[in-house]
Amino acid sequence: MRTLIIAEHNGQHLNEQVARAVTAAQQWQQPVDVLIAAAQPDALAAQAAALQGISSVLVASDAALQHPTAEHLAEIIVPLAANYNVVLAAHSAFSKNVLPRVAALLDVNMLSDVLEIVNTNTYVRGIYAGNVLATVQSSDATQVLTVRGSKFAAAATGNAAGITTVAAPAAPVGSRWVAEAFNKSERPALTAAKVVVSGGRALGSADAFAQVIAPLADKLHAAIGASRAAVDAGYAPNDLQVGQTGVVVAPELYIAVGISGAIQHAYGMKDSKVVVAINQDPEAQIFKIADYGLVADLFEVVPQLTAAL
């Protein structure tokens, strides 16, 4: 049998998590194909074909795929799934939208945010905000799963896999793309940044985010993150929320400023390579996760740190 990877992209570039999904897919020791569904798929197909470990790239092309809906993608994937015993993607807002629909249409279970593939149908995944690791086994004929990208190295390039065209059924009439709004930022994307500086409730205002967190992030060419308390209070926009109900990040360096380290926040950042915590409470939970801790008033030390860099 074969494994099918659903590739996330922005119309021009593959998401860097696709290469990580390719590494995860090698665990089955069977041919791995990548599906590119796009309005103009040529450049994307070439990028996918270069990934080591890919047997072939399947291309579904349709004008409506300029802005694909999850419903449309599911219509493309489900007929293909008959040839595959594994359908997988890197865990993201994109795959969380598409693959549960695929699993439902195939009448199989969805295995989300897999951290480790033990064998061909057994997986480790976090439950209770990552505090408990559950080992689960699926007896479904088709395994539909998303994998945590940060747990798998990115596949190298240098391959020249074949490219095959597959049918793209027409977009379903029940839903259609209307518009999208992007937050324009010069900063690196939160999920791809090598350094993340996150602020918590202790900042006390959006102004403090701009005056204390942003200058430090600028110096480090970092993305800005926030705790849910900071987001709920309106100090930072929703898309910066790190944690169980926000995004999961695993940068080289994560600096938590005025964040207590609740389990729901830790879920989103504890795989970071190096964690630095600045908190005035020496008992704060965040110090249990941190590699380096500074017990201090953030309003004193963060500007000093920024000035020293």
Ligand X SMILES: Cc1cc2nc3c(=O)[nH]c(=O)nc-3n(C[C@H](O)[C@H](O)[C@H](O)COP(=O)(O)OP(=O)(O)OC[C@H]3O[C@@H](n4cnc5c(N)ncnc54)[C@H](O)[C@@H]3O)c2cc1C
Q: SS3 for 283?
A: coil
With CB under 6 A, what is the number of residues at the site for ligand X? 28
Tell whether residue 227 is among the known ligand binding residues: yes
185, 79 Cβ separation under 8 angstroms: no
284 binds ligand X (CB under 6 A): yes
Phi-psi region of 221 (alpha: psi -120 to 50; beta: other; left: phi over 0): left
For the CB of residue 205, give the shortest distance to ligand X in the complex, in Å. 12
For the CB of residue 213, give the shortest distance to ligand X in the complex, in Å. 12
For the CB of residue 106, give the shortest distance to ligand X in the complex, in Å. 29
**Cα separation of 7 and 60, whole Å?**
11
CB-closest chain residue to ligand X? 243
**Cα separation of 209 and 200, whole Å?**
9
Closer by beta carbon to ligand X, 121 or else 280: 280
For the CB of residue 259, give the shortest distance to ligand X in the complex, in Å. 4
Count other Cβ atoms within 10 Å, centred on residue 12.
10
Task: Give residues 215-274 in contact with ligand X (rule: CB under 6 A).
Answer: 227-230, 241-246, 258-260, 262, 264-265, 268
Closer by beta carbon to ligand X, 279 or else 306: 279
The C-alpha angle 227, 96, 134, rounded to 5 degrees, equals: 80
Closer by beta carbon to ligand X, 6 or else 229: 229
Long-range contacts from 300-303, C-beta under 8 angstroms, 24+ separation: 302/212, 302/213, 302/216, 302/257, 302/278, 303/212, 303/215
Task: Give residues 151-180 in contact with ligand X (rule: CB under 6 A).
Answer: none
Strand partners, 6: 35
**Stretch 287-306: interaction string toward ligand X, x if CB under 6 A:** ----------xxx-------
DSSP run (H or E) holding 90: strand 86-90
Task: Give residues 72-91 in contact with ligand X (rule: CB under 6 A).
Answer: none
Closer by beta carbon to ligand X, 291 or else 300: 300
207 binds ligand X (CB under 6 A): no
Closest CA to 76 of 47, 105, 53: 105
Which residues touch 20 (CB under 8 Å, ≥6 apart)?
Answer: 90, 147, 149, 150, 152, 153, 154, 155
Among 281, 291, 307, 309, binds ligand X (CB under 6 A): 281
- The residues of the shown chain that bind ligand X, judged by CB under 6 A, are 200-202, 227-230, 241-246, 258-260, 262, 264-265, 268, 278-281, 284, 297-299
Annotated binding site: 201, 227-228, 241-245, 258-265, 279
Binding residues for FAD: 201, 227-228, 241-245, 258-265, 279
